[in-house]
Chains A and B, each alone.
Chain A
Amino acid sequence: NAGVMQNPRHLVRRRGQEARLRCSPMKGHSHVYWYRQLPEEGLKFMVYLQKENIIDESGMPKERFSAEFPKEGPSILRIQQVVRGDSAAYFCASSPRENVNNIQYFGAGTRLSVL
């Protein structure tokens, strides 16, 4: 029973390139959440998606960042024209449709380094 799968685990980009981070939720989970962890800080909420819908993106930077969760396939967090300040660990979490326990199951994260 696979957990939340994120890939790649490590991603290196040069300034100005695009970064694509993928997240496959746990089997049977239809809700996905993205969090960002800057160095030496806690995780900060970015966006909450259900299949084909963005429910809340209040934590997303206004520019260059976008997220999707298509009907088929993984959720994608896309960062265009990366800058050094985007270097961080990006965590994805998932939950079932009726999340009565309010538990989000986290993936191992993708560590983005921008050179």
Chain B
Amino acid sequence: AQKVTQAQTEISVVEKEDVTLDCVYETRDTTYYLFWYKQPPSGELVFLIRRNSFDEQNEISGRYSWNFQKSTSSFNFTITASQVVDSAVYFCALSYTGGFKTIFGAGTRLFVKA
């Protein structure tokens, strides 16, 4: 069975702090995809990153970075020097080749205070 767990329900930080959002997944498939989405207060879903299971390279995009570790089935997301505009709910998600469902975690609500 596929499952995504985001153990942190809410995180509160002060602006300019670094923050890491945890994501642990379960799947029996050898080929799968992992995603992070941002849901700002306006409610839409913003795609941030997609990673396939064969690519364990960490990725950095500006203040965002992702750490994918198959050995621990984790795909963690770090925001460096957080800003108030980063305040949102962040979802980790999983899909697999030939599948069509995207399985979402419950989300982590991030509050960044000025």
Tell me the A residues contacting B by CB distance below 8 Å. 31, 33, 35, 41-45, 48, 55-56, 59, 89, 91, 93, 101-109, 111
> Looking at the complex, which of B12-20, B68-76, B95-103 is the stretch in contact with chain A?
B95-103
Q: Which residue of chain B has its CB nearest to the CB of A42?
A: B104
Chain A residues, Cβ within 8 Å of B4: 42
A59 to B50 CA separation, bound complex (whole angstroms):
24
Contact residues on B (Cβ < 8 Å of other chain), bracket: 20 to 34
Contact of A106 among B45, B101, B105 (CB under 8 A): B45
Docked CA distance A30–B97 (Å): 18
Given contacts A41-B106, A42-B91, A43-B91, contact A56 B100 (CB under 8 A): yes
- Contact (Cβ within 8 A) B100 A31: yes
* Contact among A35, A102, A105 for B33, CB-based, below 8 A: A102
B45 touches A109 (CB 8 A): yes
